[in-house]
Structure 1
């Protein structure tokens, strides 16, 4: 993936952040973490199934060996065609899939407390294998980075960052 694309995505996040004197600086501070995780992925944007109100679709995955353990995940598809082969009824007029920059997906995961992870389907036509990025890993990396780069402010993320 092109680093210039990631830099442009981060710049967009900063420009679209609430101009409250804190959030743009915080986005800039965590940019290295977003870029590091995005660097594991092949594409600069993914299609996210969502409602017309732009609420992202969440799929709850069950565990066959532990039925009471469930993981709410976001599916991110590399092509629009792949979305139609996923679990969502895209014929539903209340559902759509829009391209979302990869760093924006990761950034949104910071505030999606109910989401366990995002699964990025990297290979067009292959929905059997994806790259999973867990929200907890994102949180841990972000907090460690903030603590290291801003020890005075600490590693606390505001709950309404995104």
Structure 2
């Protein structure tokens, strides 16, 4: 499913409360921008049976007190198998999700710092880190009212008559 179709599905499946579909439509350019940094339209996310995403806490090697909570997004099911999490815990499953849906969820995941998208099948050493903070910043910029160019009618001097 291409990015435009993914956005349409996000809007259509949003709660029809009179606000949420418009918010999704407003932030869609940010989701498409970030998805454009990635190579795949769909990624596998590890989830428990309640459909909660599996969060991994990483520690800084130089300072173990510095941690980062991430979610991994895998390009293929074979890459998920390479981490063997599902073999260790039968209650963990990998679900394919559209990339824009993953990014939209990141905005709401307050306990997660970023999602690491592995773009090259078979290579789990390098990924693209999309930080929640960056996503929030871009959405905030997108949601700010735009100033419109001055209309020639606004430039008429008040004492013209």
**TM class by shorter-chain length?**
0.7 to 0.9
Give per-residue Cα distances to partners, 1:87-140, cap 9 Å, x unaligned: 623453211001000000000001101111000000000000001100000000
CA deviation after TM superposition for structure 1 residue 142, in Å: 0.3
Q: Which residue of 2 aligns with 1:47?
A: 44
Q: Which residue of 2 aligns with 1:132?
A: 129
Number of aligned residue pairs = 148
What TM-score, normalized to structure 1? Answer: 0.87
CA deviation after TM superposition for structure 1 residue 7, in Å: 0.5
Cα distance in 2, alignment partners of residues 126 and 95 from structure 1: 21
After superposition, the CA RMSD in angstroms is 1.7
In terms of fraction of residues, the more helix-rich structure is 2
The question of whether the paired residues in 2 share the 8 Å contact of 1:60 and 1:71 is answered with yes
The question of whether the paired residues in 2 share the 8 Å contact of 1:48 and 1:98 is answered with yes
Q: 1:101 aligns with which of 98, 108, 113?
A: 98
What TM-score, normalized to structure 2? Answer: 0.87
**Structure 2 alignment gaps of length 5 or more:** 149-161
The question of whether the paired residues in 2 share the 8 Å contact of 1:61 and 1:72 is answered with yes
Cα distance in 1, alignment partners of residues 114 and 123 from structure 2: 19
The question of whether the paired residues in 2 share the 8 Å contact of 1:90 and 1:96 is answered with no
**Structure 1 alignment gaps of length 5 or more:** 152-162
Pair member with larger Rg: 2
CA deviation after TM superposition for structure 1 residue 85, in Å: 1.4
Q: Which residue of 2 aligns with 1:71?
A: 68
Cα distance in 2, alignment partners of residues 12 and 84 from structure 1: 29
Decide whether aligned partners of structure 1 residues 66 and 11 sit closer, same or farther in structure 2, where only a CA change above 3 A counts.
same
Q: 2:20 aligns with which of 14, 18, 23?
A: 23
